[in-house]
Amino acid sequence: MRQESLSIITVHYNAPTDLAGLLRSLEGDEAVAAGQVVVVDNGSDDQDRVRSLLGGYPWVRAVYNQNNLGLARAANQALRLTSGEFVVHLNPDIVVLPGALTRMRELLVRHRNIGLVFAKLTDATGRLQYSCRRFYDLRTVLCRRTGWAGRLWPEVESNHLMADWDHNTMREIDWAQGAAFMARREALPQGRLFDERFFLYFEDVDLCLAMRRSNWGVVYLPEATMIHAHQRASFGRGINRATWEHLKSLIKFSMKYHGLKVEEKSRT
C-alpha cells in the first residue's frame, strides 16, 4: 500500500438505504481504488439485509458486531484493521461527490501541520449545512437544548454555528460534526480515532480538541463537498435513547475537561 493511501471507515446501524448510497458514491473513486474500505455493522436489527448489501461490494471489508458497541468503539475497531496514512471517517448518510477525497488528501500532503480536514456538507439540493462549530459554553448548551434560552440570547446559536463567515472559504475551526473528515494517522491521539468513553455524541468535539491541544491544525475545506442526509435524532422527539446519550456524553465531556468552557493550550 502506497504511503498516501486512504483507509475509509464507516460505522453502520439500521440505515442500509443510506449505506447503499454511500457505497455507490465511493465506487470508482480514484482516491478509494488504492486504499481500504471497512464497514462495521454495529448490531443492526436485520444483519442479513446488510450482509446482502455488502456482498455486492467485494472491495469492502465487513465486520458484524452482535451488539451496538457505540460509535467510538466501533470506529476504533475498524481503525485497527487499516493501515493507510490518512484515515477517512464517513457516516452512512454521506454521499461523496467526485474529487472530494482527492482534494482532502492533497491538502494533508501539502500541509504537514494539519491533522484533521473536514468536508463541506450540503443537503441534496446543495443548501449548506452549518457543520462547523465553536467550542461549547454553558449558554450555548442552554440555547441548543431549550427554547427560552434561545430567545434570551439569539446571537449565541449563530455564533456557535459559525454563521458569521463565508463557508466557501477554507479556514481553521474549533471543531465540526464528525460525519465526514480525513485524519492524519500519525496525529490521532493515543492511536485511536475516538475516546471510547463517549458512546454517541461529543466524540468529534473531543477529537478536535485533542488535535488542537497537540498543535495539529483542524481545517474546513469547502472544495471538498459531500451531501449529508442530516437528522438530529436527539432533537425534537422528547426523551429518547439519543437524547439520553447526548446528555451522558455532555456530562462525560464536562468531567474530562473540568467544565464546558474549554481552555486551549497555546498552539504555536
Q: Which residue has the cell 491541544?
A: 213
Which cell is 25 given?
A: 458514491
**For position 152, what pLDDT does the model report?**
72
pLDDT digit string (tens) for the chain, length 268 residues: 454 699 999 999 999 999 999 999 999 898 998 899 999 999 999 999 999 999 999 999 999 999 999 999 999 999 999 999 999 999 999 999 999 999 999 999 999 999 999 999 999 999 999 999 998 776 777 666 667 666 777 787 888 889 989 999 999 999 999 999 999 999 999 999 999 999 989 999 999 999 999 999 999 999 999 999 975 544 444 556 677 787 888 888 888 876 766 655 545 4
Q: How confident is the model at residue 248, as a pLDDT?
A: 86
Grid cell locating 241? 435513547
Q: Which residues contact 55 (CB under 8 A, 6 or more apart)?
A: none
Q: 268 and 216 in contact (C-beta within 8 Å)?
A: no
Say how many CA atoms lie within 13 Å of 33 toward its Cβ.
6
The three three-digit cell numbers of residue 186, written as one number: 500519525
DSSP state of 123: -
Q: Residue 32: helix, strand or coil by DSSP?
A: helix
Domains in the chain: boundaries: 6-256
Q: If one looks up domain 6-256 in CATH, what number appears? A: 3.90.550.10
Q: Could you tell me the end-to-end alpha-carbon distance of the chain, in angstroms, rounded to an integer?
A: 33
